Amino acid sequence: MSLVRFFDDHPNVRYIMYGGKGGLGKTTFSAATAYYLARKGFKVLVFSVDPQASLSDIFQRNIFGQGEVEIAPNLYACEIDADRRIREYQDEIRRKILDMYGLDEVPSEIEEYMQAAAAEPAMEESAIFDEVVNIVVKGGYDYYIYDLVPLGHALYYLSMASVYDVWIDKITDLRQKMREYDSVMATLSRQKEVPEDQILNELLYIKERINKSSAVLTDRERTAFFFVLTPEQMVILDTQAAARLFSRFKVPIRGYIVNRVVPETLYDEAIPEYLRHRIEMQRGFLRQIEREFGASVLANIPEFERDITGMEMIARMAEAMFGG
């Protein structure tokens, strides 16, 4: 099996995710995959859900907070500005409070709470998650490529959908029971029908959006999750542990890509001793990766002589991943 073979054999896959420890090449692979698919004529959006995103660096374009930016024909990229999304979300909450309760201004205690909540670390991740939901629900692309955050945060995203869903289910159920009670009381007292419950409608709207997004994460027909790792002992162990956790969330793990493999062709040349030792050490770790992951290893990507930035280097990486 190879990456090219995978895409040929799974034409219904539309959501592609690269995950792994930080600094292993997830963003690079995301950009190269987007380039490859765009060159094949598909309309592709690659976007980062990492607050420390580097798609701007890779594409050598300032795309942070600019929305969906066209990089090349069929290729679009997006880096989400979490701070802006938080401000927009706060404004949206203020407007809904004023509309729902007929107030002229938001009470000071609510305003103080909103400001305090915005400073919480989880708020940034929640804002990015919400924007991802917007992107997925809106549609318009053949492929969506997620440049995921490092493993621990990725698990947070995966669990967030289920946590939100359970919480909203409980609140929705409570409000529906309250609404039934209000309707009965209105009938007994011969009052007019209870007005529409705007809060309940809002909760149902949020639940629908979250369900659409979480369904993508576990859709075995349309989603492909690839782990990125390097031939290093700790990375291999962390990847094994993460794969077990991701499986518990029913994430469709489709394969593993090994990055930064020092080419064996260098071994016979006059190379520094440290490089010779590194190649020998990598041989052992590559054998370990083969034992642990077997046919699920879809590609071994060589270490490049410089960073992958700019379209020329992205094209080279795409060739290394998918062939000429």
CATH number at 79 reads: 3.40.50.300
239 and 266, same domain (yes or no): yes
φ and ψ at residue 35, rounded to 5 degrees: -60, -45
Q: Helix crossing, 233-248 with 273-293: angle to 10°?
A: 20
Domain that holds residue 115: 93-121
pLDDT per residue rounded down to tens, the chain (324 residues):
699 999 999 999 999 988 888 889 999 999 999 999 999 999 999 988 666 658 999 999 999 889 999 999 999 999 988 788 778 878 887 888 788 778 888 888 878 877 876 676 666 666 777 777 788 888 899 999 988 765 555 555 556 556 666 666 776 676 667 666 556 555 555 554 445 566 667 666 766 766 776 677 788 999 999 999 999 999 999 999 989 888 887 889 999 999 999 998 887 768 888 888 999 999 999 999 999 999 999 999 999 999 999 999 999 999 999 986
Are 77 and 69 in contact by the 8 Å Cβ rule? The answer is: yes
Q: Cα(97)–Cα(110) distance, rounded to whole angstroms?
A: 10
52 and 132, same domain (yes or no): yes
Domain finish residue from 106, 121, 136 = 121
128 and 74, same domain (yes or no): yes
pTM of structure: 0.81
Domain count within the chain: 2
Which of helix, strand or coil describes residue 32? Answer: helix
Instruction: Count other C-beta atoms under 10 Å from residue 157's C-beta.
Output: 22
